[in-house]
Amino acid sequence: MSTLSPLHAVHEALGASFTDFAGWAMPLRYGSELAEHKAVRTAAGIFDLSHMGEIELTGPEAAQALDYALVGNLSAVKPGRARYTMICDEDGGVLDDLVVYRLADDRFMVVANASNAATVATALRERAAGFSVEVDDQSASVALIAVQGPASPAIVGPVTGADLVSLAYYAAVPARVAGHEVLLARTGYTGEDGFELYVEGANAAEVWQALADAGAEHGLVPAGLACRDTLRLEAGMPLYGNELGVELTPFDAGLGRVVKFDKPGDFVGRAALERRRDADVDSRVLVGLVGSGRRAPRHGYAVADSDGNRVGTVTSGALSPTLGHPIAMAYVPVSVSEPGTALTVDIRGTVAPVEVVKLPFYKRPA
């Protein structure tokens, strides 16, 4: 039995197709995922992300607890700001990638992927045990609505009455929508300007409706998880389970910068991550690949060098809706990771030429 989002009835009324995502029945698409993708790139899309996990840490040592539990330097984050970070195990393997909001001096909200929410909540409870902090998993009661795309400020501004000019990327403020309290954050997973609104599940439908009504004249459309995946892929953003996993460290994913060795105190995974940072290994790195034609390299397909020797594996791939050609991410050895390197991908028995490129594939117009 799937968990239903507090917005399930809204999606049914909109004719959504649903998919099971980590035990949640979530909208995959409402009509055409290509149209939804394009709307987010050119106007705006509204997403239900209520499957994400929200775990609050409150107490005088909340910051110290997170400094110990996560690889980031959370005590350095100012109230009202957010940080992209990771939680690793003792071996440096990534348990999840996270966005952490500092709501007040003594209060943080950790946002985890749906598939890892329970793991993260458990790990945070264990790691916070020695600190003066309460860990409260609110995943079941908190809904998350995202409005993403170039038109999103014109939609979200009037509905919330918030001063968006002073709301920077990775900042968050309390706001009100349709009379309900929300946490309004300028964050997202699409490569566009956009907002994420955290709201009590019981109020989610009214908040969604207010945003949808305000967005109608701006071309806002409901958008499902299918286009969310192609949007984040074009933007070169990792997806846990594809580009990230417990068998990889942040360094393997090219995200070693999230590990803050110079923060005060010890943290879980420090020793292993220091070894990994200092190791002189021909390690794998995450690269972008572009192809031609219409057939896309997909998750799990083999990557080979120009002599046909297997060098890696595709982690995510699709025919890019925005660019019109196949794009993929893959782990390959450093020796074949330079942009311009010619590689091939085995697309179900056909050897397709691809070229290594710098990520991201798509950057929004400045």
Partner 1 sequence: MSIPENLGYTEEHEWVDLADSGVATVGITEFAAKNLGDVVFVQLPEVGAKITRGEPCGEVESVKAVSELYSPVDGEVVEINEAVIDSPELVNTDPYGDGWMFRARVAEEPDLLDAAAYDALTKES
Pick the closest to residue 230 from 113, 340, 128, 328 (CA basis). 328
- Under the binding rule (CB under 8 A), the answer on residue 349 touching partner 1 is no
Candidates 82, 93, 50; CA nearest to 201 is: 50
- Say how many residues touch partner 1, by CB under 8 A: 17
CA 182 to chain centre: 20
Q: How far apart are CA 314 and CA 284, in angstroms?
A: 12
Structural contact between residues 233 and 297, judged by C-beta atoms closer than 8 angstroms: no
29 binds partner 1 per the rule CB under 8 A: yes
Q: Which is nearer to partner 1, 171 or 319 (CB)?
A: 319
34 contacts partner 1 (rule: CB under 8 A): yes
Q: What element of type H or E holds 211?
A: helix 204-215
Out of 124, 226, 304, 332, the only residue in the binding site for partner 1 (CB under 8 A) is 226
Task: Evaluate whether 306 touches 342 at the Cβ level (below 8 Å).
Answer: yes
Residue (69 or 327) nearer to partner 1, CB:
327
Binding of partner 1 by 230 (CB under 8 A): yes
Please state the closest distance from residue 205 (CB atom) to partner 1, in A: 26
CA distance 223 to 334: 37
Which of 303/356 has CB closer to partner 1? 303
**Binding-site member from 179, 279, 294, 365 for partner 1 (CB under 8 A):** 294
Residue 12 in marked binding region: no
- Per rule CB under 8 A, is residue 22 in the interface with partner 1? no
> E strand or H helix at 175, and its extent?
strand 172-177
Smallest distance, Å, CB 279 to partner 1? 37
| 298 lies in the binding site for partner 1 (CB under 8 A) | yes
Sign, CA torsion 69/73/77/82: negative
Compute how many other C-beta atoms are within 10 angstroms of the C-beta atom of residue 89: 15
Choose the stretch contacting partner 1; rule: CB under 8 A; options: 4-12, 77-85, 154-162, 288-296: 288-296
Binding residues for partner 1 (CB under 8 A): 17, 28-29, 32-34, 226, 229-230, 294-296, 298, 318-319, 321, 348
- Residue numbers belonging to the annotated binding site for substrate: 196
